Structure 1
Amino acid sequence: MNDRTLMLYFPDTDYAASLKIFQDPTSQIRGFYFTKSQLNKVENLDYANNHAVYFLFSDSEESSVYIGQSVNGIKRIKSHLREKDFWQYGILFVTDNNSFDKLSIDYLEYFFIQAFAKTQYSLENHDLRTVMPNVNFFNQSTLNSFAVQIQFLLEAMGISFKPSPSIDNELNNEVFNAKSPYNAQIAIRDGKFILLENSEIRAPLDRTKDWSDGGTFYKRSLRRFNQLIEAGKAVKLDVSIAKLVDDVEFNSPSTPAELCSGHSQNGWIFWQGLDGLRKEQLE
């Protein structure tokens, strides 16, 4: 048996789903779950301004996460209201006795960037922290123990660290091919759109730099393209094309269509037969 106990506290029962504190009673690590609209309330909660590692999540077009650290807890995250608009909810971790120091949160940020790079989440971090902070053997053992505790708490809040298993195309999973001339396939599982292994992805076209969005599409798409390669989920075929070596999960069909074509796409039309399937389900 491998059971655990988790305590939950709701500071405002009118917003029970949007603001909660959670903690393993055997640990000093305390977590704060909050939606963007409840962020200001977190600042007034006990320990929320201690040294912290935090996670900002999006589950709109594509499941993505930004991982950061803060020496003054929630106050750092408030700046992300201005700097980053992608996220809908966040999770902050501190210790009750403020035993996290700068080295601790630096290592934990590094650890979870590496951990999430292996999952289906797209990383919003520009710096993927490929170099481990300089910690000695004894400190690293303690910090890894903290990381395991935090991972359990994240999983208790519904955050999965498991990569999606590859789809067995023989088990009646319908596959949709990209329109010509693109070489890619998706399948649908549990409401998610799975870009399949061996699909080719492309860096955004240069002309998208001059779009009226000020280059937002270009920068976001190039970061996603590079992150898949750096995370080992794709291998480069040439300077602008790569091939997936693992399945990648998305929340809509348009994001993988953009990734495979290098410019904006209506995913329902890009994937052959997908729009017909949608219309059948609406009838």
Structure 2
Amino acid sequence: MKVYREIWGFTNRSVTDILIHDKDGRNNFSFKKGAPKMTSKSVMIYFPEAKNASNLRIIQDPTSQIRGFFFTKSQFSKIERMEHANNSGIYFLFSELDEPSVYIGQSVNGIHRIKTHIREKEFWKYGILFVTDNNSFDRLSIDFLEYHFIQEFSKTEYNLENRDLRSTKPIMSIFQEATLNSFANHLEFLLEALGISLQTAIEITATIIHYFDAPAGINARLFLRDGKFILATNSVISKPAESSREWSDYGKFYSRYTNHFQRLVASGSAELINNQEAKLLKDVEFTSPSTPAALCSGHSKNGWKFWIGLKELREKEES
């Protein structure tokens, strides 16, 4: 059975409201975040297999040639056979949310480029490929989009798996840049509609119910909002302990969290206190409690146990 749905997304850079309904009008689901000041957008989502809707879907703005393919690793082979999936485009490979990471790449033959990552990159669990129906993404387009999204994701909680962090912007005319920026903005909205947020600092518009402090000796506080874990302004983050260089993960934890610490400082979300510590200047959003726990402690931590009272709250809600 094939299912076709439309989504109306009302979005600015800080809030998103989404309404989904079946084309026959039977089922309606509403997801709301934030305040009602927003710009309206409309996209369509197509589910090739209704019983597998969470693992395989196609998203497209009805006014645009851009379409996106969302797929888990196990469903990759099904995307290969779909129309337009071999066009030039940009793709994102994501890990699980407990330790969120992303690889961003470009492809002149769409999904076929990702085949190599099935063997070479073990970290990813699901991917998103964006192409155009008329195959209008040329080399400059995908080169710029790769550059743009590497810069944008470097400001978020996601750890970048790219070796080349693309610090040099592609050369282009002002006319080309205006067009490509509009493509990038549109892709950011489609990513948001698929549940991938590029937001780091957020504006608090809802009542905060629960605060969770770090253990004694660590000056940090976490709270919950809209299902996300927010590390509060003025929390102190720390570079990883030097001893983590010698861990059995071959220094991956040390490298990942050193980069994360440096990105928060470079983006203006935190300011250095000394060579080892920095203080957050903004609230920063995470999808799991373990990443902020590691950032604040400098060690690998189970966030549910690290933040005082968080584990108890979860157990109470599950009982």
How many residue pairs match? The answer is 282
Moved more, 4-13 or 48-57: 4-13
Equivalence for 1:152? 189
Equivalence for 2:10? none
Equivalence for 1:42? 79
How big is the shift at 1:121? 4.6
Q: What CA deviation, in whole Å up to 9, does each residue of 1:31-85 have, x standing for no partner?
A: 1111111112212222222221112234521444332212221122223333433
Q: What CA deviation, in whole Å up to 9, does each residue of 1:169-220 have, x standing for no partner?
A: 9x55332222232221111223332111221111211211222223232222
How big is the shift at 1:14? 4.3
- The answer to whether the Cα contact below 8 Å between 1:53 and 1:109 also exists between their aligned partners in 2 is yes
Equivalence for 1:261? 297
How big is the shift at 1:109? 1.4
Equivalence for 2:20? none
Equivalence for 2:169? 132
- The answer to whether the Cα contact below 8 Å between 1:203 and 1:262 also exists between their aligned partners in 2 is yes
Alignment of 1:28-177 (within 5 A): 28-119=65-156, 121-163=158-200, 165-167=202-204, 171=207, 173-177=209-213
- The answer to whether the Cα contact below 8 Å between 1:32 and 1:91 also exists between their aligned partners in 2 is yes
How big is the shift at 1:123? 4.1
- Paired with 2:46 and 2:309, the residues of 1 have a C-alpha distance of 47
- Paired with 1:197 and 1:108, the residues of 2 have a C-alpha distance of 31
- Residue among 247, 266, 273 paired with 2:309: 273
The percent identity for this pair of structures is 56
2:254 partner SS: helix
- Residue among 211, 218, 222 paired with 2:258: 222
Bigger relative contact order (CA 8 A; separation at least 6): 1
- Paired with 2:56 and 2:311, the residues of 1 have a C-alpha distance of 38
Return closer, same or farther for 1:11/1:190 CA change in 2, 3 Å cut-off. Answer: closer
Return closer, same or farther for 1:73/1:207 CA change in 2, 3 Å cut-off. Answer: same
Greater fraction of residues in strand: 2
- The answer to whether the Cα contact below 8 Å between 1:19 and 1:35 also exists between their aligned partners in 2 is yes
- The answer to whether the Cα contact below 8 Å between 1:61 and 1:250 also exists between their aligned partners in 2 is no
Return closer, same or farther for 1:162/1:213 CA change in 2, 3 Å cut-off. Answer: closer
Moved more, 132-141 or 191-200: 191-200
Return closer, same or farther for 1:280/1:144 CA change in 2, 3 Å cut-off. Answer: closer
Give the TM-score of the pair, scaled to structure 1.
0.85
- Paired with 1:97 and 1:84, the residues of 2 have a C-alpha distance of 30
Moved more, 84-93 or 117-126: 117-126
- Paired with 1:83 and 1:65, the residues of 2 have a C-alpha distance of 14
RMSD: 2.8
- Paired with 2:208 and 2:58, the residues of 1 have a C-alpha distance of 42
- Paired with 2:52 and 2:318, the residues of 1 have a C-alpha distance of 34
Residues 1:190 and 2:226 aligned together: yes
Moved more, 22-31 or 88-97: 22-31
Give the TM-score of the pair, scaled to structure 2.
0.76
- Paired with 1:278 and 1:3, the residues of 2 have a C-alpha distance of 35
